[in-house]
Amino acid sequence: MSLAKHWRLQQQRYRLIGVQCEDCGAKLLPRRLVCPQCKSHNLQPYSFKGQGMVYSHTVVYDAPSGYDGYVPYPAALVRLDEGPLVATQLTDVDIDEPYIGMPVEMVTRRLREHGESGMIVYGYKFRPKLKD
Amino acid sequence: MRRVYITGIGQTPVREHWDRSARDLAASSILQALEQAGIDKADAIYVGNALSGELTGQEQLAALIADFAGLTGTEAIRVEAAGASGGAAVRLGYLAVASGVHDTVLVTGVEKMSDLSGPAVEEALATSTDEEYEAIHGLSIAASHALLMRRYMYDYDLERRDFAHFSVNSHRNAVNNEYAMFRRPITVEAFEKARLVADPISLLDSAPVADGAATIVLCSDKAAGKRANSSVEITGSALATDAVALHDRPNPLFLRAVQESAHKAYAQAGVTPKQIDIFEPHDAFAILAALSLEASGLAPEGEGVRLAMEGEIALEGRIPICTMGGQKARGYPVGAAGVYQIVELAQQLRGDAGANQVDARVGMTQSIGGTGATAVTHILRSP
Ligand SMILES: [Zn+2]
């Protein structure tokens, strides 16, 4: 398993850094070179706050290799306050708790381990929003 | 552009073929198709296959298949577009003949899946999603579709059992298809009780991975000669793409690539959705079939599931789908599925569909990769 493969995504994985289109204002995660809305190439880094609501959710029972030790686990599409959707696991929550519209916030957690090398990949997950 | 005819078809039963590898399955379907077409060679072979490297450690599959089918030396290329690999291979075969570059080509779809166990197959299937932003979060392909299904249920006030009618229809139709993997009817109650793989998607809502190969022979009118009069013609062919990741689509419940490919194919064939007598959709999961019916203009937005609930997708309904069992019950050898669809639709349009025969002049197939990033639509016309 390549270290570089995960290292180069650390800005996105640890800090939810995407881009904002300087021409039409679109906020995009993940980053891209071309704005899908207006085709502008003028995209600058943008840091998302990591707050949002559950757009849809599931519980995974039959998992891919590397994740089968964690089943069952909840996953979701989260609608960030700034607009984009993000695919993520939910954490600090029972599997029957999530609902569409649930307020959630980003935290950093272990995403997976790679068995033989023992490398651990960290990144974002979302948990129910703590009371302000 | 030249006219393109299907002059031969071949298929292996869809099973867990413990005793046969991909090359055996592919060669077997090629020999059947060649014999039916009355030829012993072709100008090129397009091989639709999604996961040969991932699942069996074999790449350069097309050359291998050409050699073992007795066609050593023939131009042969593997085409990969996840679940749409088969449809994409048909598209390339069509382009080659329609353009005048080749007169006779073979399109083979093949997948060998039974050599690996559950989690390894799930890992391989998840490669059709965005690896850096979906698969890394442990989203299986079923989980991605579960996210679509849950949202659809919320938006349109439906329950899990409402989706059962797709699987019930596919299993009923597979009973009479000797090549199908599951030839037993199922009930709505069994669907409701089935074990969940990614809530709300259950085992009876997921197309079973399997081994299989299917082949078609495509000919120009020149090469088809007199056979053209008795052959099914491809009158529309289109492929379109969308963002790979669900989260990169403005509305995940709208299958943009499906809509674009369907409408291009309608325009080319000179038909409207109302004129489609029979439809073979990509029913890897019921939600995908429902969204495909909607994006193809065969059901209004939000009405795809209701169409199934009202029995309109049955053999005697307004728009019969999965008439030989579809992915759900014929079985889902991923990269072969798009070619099986063409084989089955050709059977229907030639009047060779046996007990499942539908009175049809114009039919449509749709082959989809992942959650909809690649969609290939073909429209076929009876002789
Ligand atoms: Zn823009």
Instruction: Spell out the residues 6+ positions from residue B313 whose beta carbon is closer than 8 angstroms to its own.
Output: B165, B166, B169, B307, B319, B320, B321, B322
pLDDT at B16: 97
Domain count, chain A: 2
Give residue A66's domain range: 50-132
pLDDT in tens, A93-124: 999 999 999 999 999 999 988 766 778 899 99
Is residue A43 domain-shared with residue A69, that is, in the same domain? no
DSSP B115-137: TS-HHHHHHHHGGGS-TTTTGGG
Contact A55 B195 (CB under 8 A): no
**Angstrom distance (rounded) from CA A1 to CA A14:** 20
pLDDT at A131: 74
Residue B124, pLDDT > 60, answer: yes
Q: How far is the CA of A43 from the centre of ligand 1 (A)?
A: 8
Taking the model in full, what pTM does it have?
0.97
Average pLDDT over residues A60-89: 97
Pair (A39, A79) in one structural domain: no
Write the DSSP assignment of B272-323 as a string of letters. -GGG--EEE---SBHHHHHHHHHHTTSS-TT-HHHHHHTTTTSTTSSS-BST
The CATH number of the structural domain formed by B138-205+235-381 is 3.40.47.10
**Residue A113 confidence (pLDDT):** 81
> Boundaries of CATH 3.40.47.10 in chain B?
4-117+209-232, 138-205+235-381
A 96-115: CB under 8 A from B:
100, 111-112
Instruction: Report pLDDT for A6.
Output: 84
The CA distance from A40 to the nearest CA of chain B, in Å, is 17
Same domain, A17 and A77: no
For residue A132, what pLDDT band results from cuts at 50, 70 and 90? low
**B356-374 exposure pattern, b = at least 16 Cβ within 10 A, e = fewer:** bebebebbbbbbbbbbbbb
pLDDT bin (cut points 50, 70, 90) of residue A2 is: confident
Report the pLDDT value the prediction gives residue A1, as an integer from 0 to 100: 55
Closest chain A residue by Cα to residue B121: A64
User: Which CATH architecture is the domain B4-117+209-232 placed in?
Assistant: 3-Layer(aba) Sandwich (3.40)
- Tens of pLDDT, residues A41-54: 999 999 999 999 99
